[in-house]
């Protein structure tokens, strides 16, 4: 349902939220998020353009959040990259559906609305702070074992 670009953007935003302001390189985020490095660079560029991440140059540079993780929702990230598309008119162009969606498309649109609502109620910080599971569907990612700019982060 989500585009690959949106999925990767969410992964990187979660990883950066976990780092609490410590910069991470594109290579670090790519590896930890299981994202092809060239694709990660593209997504980071989109996130930077939207103000969700900031790049820091220099020996200990990398990317950090450019937004408040306590206020930025998962929907905010999706809307910056690839907004969910609601069904506003009949996808088939049928004139008899010009004033009201057919039951099937009305149900699909309702489900998209529920997804939007759910994603708008969860911030990046809430997702990361949940103690019962790791936010990326696996054991907690420990990026402190990785190196940034030649220096260990741990």
pLDDT in tens, 115-144: 999 999 999 999 998 855 566 655 544 454
- Rounded mean pLDDT of 19-41? 94
Burial of 60 (0-12, 13-18, 19+ CB in 10 A): middle
In angstroms, rounded to a whole number, what is the distance separating the alpha carbons of residues 139 and 44? 24
**Domains of the chain by start residue, with CATH:** 4-152 (1.10.10.10)
Read off the pLDDT band of 12 (50, 70, 90): very high
In angstroms, rounded to a whole number, what is the distance separating the alpha carbons of residues 120 and 10? 13
Q: What is the pTM of this model?
A: 0.78
In angstroms, rounded to a whole number, what is the distance separating the alpha carbons of residues 97 and 26? 47
The percent of residues above 90 in pLDDT, for the chain, comes to: 61
SS3 114: helix
H and E: helices and strands count for the chain: 6, 4
Q: What is the largest CA-CA distance in the chain?
A: 65
Q: What is the pLDDT of residues 66-94, one digit of tens each?
A: 999 999 999 999 999 999 898 887 776 67
pLDDT at residue 59 is higher than 90? no
């Amino acid at each position: 349902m989500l585009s690959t670009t949106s999925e990767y953007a969410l992964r990187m935003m979660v990883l950066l939220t976990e780092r609490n302001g410590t910069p991470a390189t594109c290579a670090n985020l790519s590896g930890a998020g299981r994202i092809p490095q060239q694709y990660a660079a593209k997504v980071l560029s989109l996130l930077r353009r939207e103000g969700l991440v900031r790049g820091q140059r220099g020996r200990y540079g990398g990317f950090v959040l450019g937004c408040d993780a306590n206020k930025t929702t998962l929907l905010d990230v999706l809307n910056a990259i690839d907004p969910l598309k609601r069904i506003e008119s009949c996808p088939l162009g049928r004139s008899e559906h010009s004033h009201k969606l057919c039951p099937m498309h009305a149900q699909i649109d309702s489900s998209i609305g529920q997804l939007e609502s759910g994603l708008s109620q969860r911030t990046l910080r809430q997702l990361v702070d949940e103690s019962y599971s790791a936010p990326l569907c696996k054991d907690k990612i420990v990026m402190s074992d990785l190196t940034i700019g030649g220096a260990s982060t741990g």
